[in-house]
Structure 1
Amino acid sequence: MKNKFNIDLRIFEDYYSADYFKKTREILSKFKPNQLVTMQWFQRKENTVVCGIEIIKEILRLSKIKNLKVEAVDEGDIVEPLEPVLKITGNYNDFAHFEGLFDGILSRASTVATNARKISIAANGKKVLNMNDRMDYYTNQQVDGYASTVGGIKNLVTYASFEYLQEEVELNGTMPHALIASFNGDLIAATKAYKEVFPNNNLVALVDYNNDCINDSLMVCNHFKNEIFAVRLDTSPNLVDKSLLKLKEKDNELHGVNPTLVKMLREKLDLNGHQNVKIIVSSGFDEYKIRYFEENSVPVDIYGVGDAITKNKIGFTGDIVLIDGKKQSKFGRENTFSNKIKSIKYM
Structure 2
Amino acid sequence: MKNYQFDAQVKKGYYLADYFKKTVKIVEKYKSDAVVTMQFFQRKENTVVCGIKQVLALIKFACPNYLTLKIEALDDGMVVQPLEPVLKITGHYQDFGFLEGMIDGILARNSSIATNSARVIAVVGSQRALNMNDRADLYLNQPFDGYASYVGGFRQFVSEAALELIDDETVKQPSGTMPHALIQIFDGDVLEATKAFHETFPDNRLVALVDYHNDCVNDALKVARYFKEKLFAIRLDTAANLVDQTLSKTKDQYPEDAKLNGVSEYLVVAVREALNQEGFNHVKIIVSSGFNAEKIADFEQKKIPVDLYGIGEALVKVNIGFTGDNVALNGQGQAKFGREEHENKRLKAWKW
- What's the TM-score once normalised by structure 2's chain length? 0.94
Distance 1:216 1:84 in 2: 53
Q: Which residue of 2 aligns with 1:44?
A: 43
Q: Which residue of 2 aligns with 1:85?
A: 86
The yes-or-no answer on 1:336 pairing with 2:342 is yes
Shift of 1:312: 5.1
Partners of 1:68 and 1:90 within 8 A in 2: yes
Q: Which residue of 2 aligns with 1:173?
A: 176
Shift of 1:13: 2.3
Render the CA deviation track for 1:72-121: whole Å, top value 9, x for unaligned.
11110000111100000011110022110100000010000000000111
Give the letter aligned to residue 140 of structure 1.
N
Distance 1:297 1:312 in 2: 30
Render the CA deviation track for 1:33-79: whole Å, top value 9, x for unaligned.
11000000000111100000011112223345221110011110000
Distance 1:60 1:270 in 2: 57
Q: Mapping of 1:73-152 within 5 angstroms?
A: 73-124=74-125, 126-152=127-153
Shift of 1:10: 2.7
How many residues are paired up? 345
Could you say if the C-alpha distance between residues 323 and 78 of structure 1 is closer, same or farther in structure 2, counting changes exceeding 3 Å? same
Shift of 1:132: 1.2
Shift of 1:338: 1.4
Partners of 1:72 and 1:342 within 8 A in 2: yes
Partners of 1:22 and 1:96 within 8 A in 2: no
Render the CA deviation track for 1:207-236: whole Å, top value 9, x for unaligned.
000111111101101101111111000111
Between 206-215 and 167-176, the greater mean CA deviation after superposition: 167-176
Render the CA deviation track for 1:189-209: whole Å, top value 9, x for unaligned.
100111122122111100000
Which runs of no fewer than 5 residues in structure 2 stay unpaired? none
SS of residue paired to 1:223: helix
The yes-or-no answer on 1:230 pairing with 2:233 is yes
Distance 1:8 1:47 in 2: 32
Q: Which residue of 2 aligns with 1:309?
A: 315
Identity %: 51
Match of 1:323 among 306, 329, 346: 329
Distance 1:61 1:312 in 2: 26
Distance 2:345 2:21 in 1: 33
Q: Which residue of 2 aligns with 1:241?
A: 244
Distance 2:285 2:346 in 1: 41
Shift of 1:125: 5.1
Render the CA deviation track for 1:102-150: whole Å, top value 9, x for unaligned.
0000001000000000011122454211111111111111110010000
Distance 2:27 2:175 in 1: 51
Q: How large is the Cα RMSD of the aligned pairs?
A: 1.4
Distance 2:265 2:127 in 1: 16
Shift of 1:291: 0.3
Distance 1:129 1:174 in 2: 12
Q: Mapping of 1:280-319 within 5 angstroms?
A: 280-311=286-317, 313-319=319-325
SS of residue paired to 1:30: helix
The yes-or-no answer on 1:34 pairing with 2:33 is yes
Shift of 1:152: 0.6
Give the letter aligned to residue 6 of structure 1.
Q
Could you say if the C-alpha distance between residues 9 and 132 of structure 1 is closer, same or farther in structure 2, counting changes exceeding 3 Å? same
Partners of 2:87 and 2:347 within 8 A in 1: yes
SS of residue paired to 1:7: coil
Shift of 1:18: 1.3
Shift of 1:166: 1.7
Partners of 1:129 and 1:172 within 8 A in 2: no
Q: Which residue of 2 aligns with 1:18?
A: 17
Give the letter aligned to residue 118 of structure 2.
R
Q: Mapping of 1:164-243 within 5 angstroms?
A: 164-167=165-168, 170-243=173-246
Distance 2:4 2:278 in 1: 49
SS of residue paired to 1:191: helix
Partners of 1:155 and 1:172 within 8 A in 2: no
Distance 1:312 1:144 in 2: 11
Between 63-72 and 225-234, the greater mean CA deviation after superposition: 63-72
SS of residue paired to 2:251: coil
Distance 1:148 1:125 in 2: 11
Distance 1:134 1:125 in 2: 21
Distance 1:210 1:130 in 2: 25
Give the letter aligned to residue 117 of structure 1.
A
